[in-house]
Structure 1
């Protein structure tokens, strides 16, 4: 078996089976040679990573090497993992997000302070890794403000321009139980808390009076904001999304009946095989579903991972609650708590009814505005 990095890289495209290369990398790491594994990863990336459609041998071996260093390597080898991550993520922010999820799920937070050492010397990939790591740790309940090095970086003035800086450095009460993946060298697992489904809060109250009439008020910017958590389903998989807002003529009445007369595509009469049912729910249940949709993705993609999944879930709830796009996180949180939230369910041809279905609605405090988000995806 060839064991020099240059020779392995040169011969990779001729291999019909790459298990030997992966096994060798695991063996070298077990022997403590993390430098070799990092060198192999860097060489593979520089040789094959820039291709528009990298060869399958590269994809298989590189992901194995990347996981080895981020998940399995000892703490003293973290520097080699950061060297590989910095090389790759400097040109691919998705890899920074992926690496942050791998690291945060597999290592104590105290070990990860090393990723924040060195001030601004590591620009590009490692700066994005740091931003993502902060919020991956927050999602896991870590008090990042108490972790020297991480806290200093996370509260520094230069971070203000980063999209993730909008988020707080602590977990909100709405983020009660985020579904986070677990990783091993050879795979990963995570839950899919999608529906449409009964959240356990029971059917929505029937309400009083006649069903209100509705006038659609959807704007392109509002629809895009509401759909942020599920946009990756449509952009990178086979998903469909419906995001719409309505002004209601009166408050009260049955939410289920109102939904049935809104001319929603997802409840189109010609495809509907059952009347919609609506269930009252609390903001944490809605956030959990939207976070899973954003962070783990749909049928054919891997999502945005934890940090950006957190951001997009909050931005979708901000849109659904009618908060201005310039609102602070605290303002958005208040808007969310002021609204009444529902999931709804119906057997229609619009929903794929495979594993990826979402249907939520938000009713304004005065009962005169309703926002609806539905999404579905299939393999």
Structure 2
């Protein structure tokens, strides 16, 4: 099964293919940059999408090639040269974020620092967003601290209200698993895997009774924020985010799969073709936050990884939405409050889940024990048209 779909421009004239091969083979940064300039300024009409893809590959190659010139060339391509209207908004964002991530991974900080000599006077320009992404990527690797030009730029972004500027310049302890891959800890696809990693939350009659009495508390804004990491990452099925209120506090012992199964959730409808019983296991805030980060950092089967800076932002926004916190609550305060919530992972064998590439489902009980949030998402490489 292929994850890549043919896109417009794949049948472009041989001339464009030859040019691209030549530009990539030359390996001289100046020649590659000049090729990108020509393609960005040619106004090639029907071949604009093909040219944009070539320019994107040049930008990423330059970002991966260690030298100060390559830093400047790659930044200029995605921050200034790439013509608007050729790439979709999402494609342009992903390229910019990819280049930022590659620059931080491949380049010396001393060669990145000159990009921050001039302070921005607004946040709408791609060049400004690139630098905001660079600061975000540096924060995730614990680099850039004490560099005055970087700190001044970050402060200016906070003044201007750039969304990435609300995140701290250093990784928090709760973020310790971000970008870290551990062998043997891939996606959980089976009940056995879930039970092996997390303690099971037993079923209770009291939980079932409480679940049947839960009231739907629809909040579309909150739901859209909660599912944003999955949409940004290109997960195959539209995620489900639901919120419920209870007439009386729920005992923590009753917060388990018997409670969840009584909720009117789309992800639990249908019997499914796979055999197995639904189950829920207790988890921790850092586990949930890391999964939210990974969904858009790695991306779904359609390969829409967002880079570390925005994946971090989307994860925190979703995390806040699950807890029902206003955006003005400081992150460290949110971490403190998260410890007072109850967090569950759950799994079901219904038509909704695929148990194929990635399935995630969480339920969160607030400290008053009267409000519950549920977030479920599934990813697969079967044809998207077959999904409901």
> TM-score of the superposition, structure 1-length normalised?
0.81
Match of 1:70 in 2: 63
Report the aligned-residue RMSD.
Answer: 3.2
Of 263-272 and 278-287, deviating more is 263-272
Question: Structure 1 22/279 Cα, relative in aligned 2: closer, same or farther at 3 Å?
Answer: same
Q: Distance in 2 between matches of 1:254 and 1:328?
A: 28
- The one of 11, 21, 24 equivalent to 2:22 is 24
1:334 offset after TM fit, Å? Answer: 2.8
CA contact (8 A) 1:201 1:280 kept: yes
Q: Distance in 1 between matches of 2:169 and 2:45?
A: 35
CA offsets 1:95-146 (integer angstroms, 9 cap, x no match): 322211121222233332122123349982221111011111111232x332
1:285 offset after TM fit, Å? Answer: 1.1
Match of 1:318 in 2: 320
Q: Distance in 1 between matches of 2:25 and 2:67?
A: 14
Question: Structure 1 241/285 Cα, relative in aligned 2: closer, same or farther at 3 Å?
Answer: same
CA offsets 1:225-261 (integer angstroms, 9 cap, x no match): 222222335xx56322110111234422141111111
CA offsets 1:280-300 (integer angstroms, 9 cap, x no match): 111111111111112232222
Match of 1:14 in 2: 13
Match of 2:131 in 1: 130
CA contact (8 A) 2:280 2:344 kept: yes
Q: Does residue 107 of the first structure (1) align with residue 107 of the second (2)?
A: yes
Q: Does residue 80 of the first structure (1) align with residue 73 of the second (2)?
A: yes
**Unmatched 5+ residue regions in structure 1?**
1-11, 182-189
**Unmatched 5+ residue regions in structure 2?**
1-10, 85-91, 382-388
CA contact (8 A) 1:243 1:371 kept: yes
CA offsets 1:139-175 (integer angstroms, 9 cap, x no match): 1232x33233212211236644111111111111111
CA contact (8 A) 1:101 1:133 kept: yes
Aligned to 1:118, the other structure's residue is in SS state coil
Match of 2:89 in 1: none
Q: Distance in 2 between matches of 1:25 and 1:296?
A: 28
CA contact (8 A) 2:67 2:111 kept: no
Q: Distance in 2 between matches of 1:121 and 1:35?
A: 30
Question: Structure 1 175/50 Cα, relative in aligned 2: closer, same or farther at 3 Å?
Answer: farther
CA contact (8 A) 2:216 2:245 kept: yes
Question: Structure 1 342/89 Cα, relative in aligned 2: closer, same or farther at 3 Å?
Answer: farther
- Count of aligned positions: 351
CA contact (8 A) 1:135 1:306 kept: yes
CA contact (8 A) 1:259 1:276 kept: no
Match of 2:260 in 1: 259
Aligned to 2:59, the other structure's residue is in SS state helix
Q: Distance in 2 between matches of 1:129 and 1:122?
A: 13
Match of 1:246 in 2: 244
CA contact (8 A) 2:158 2:166 kept: no
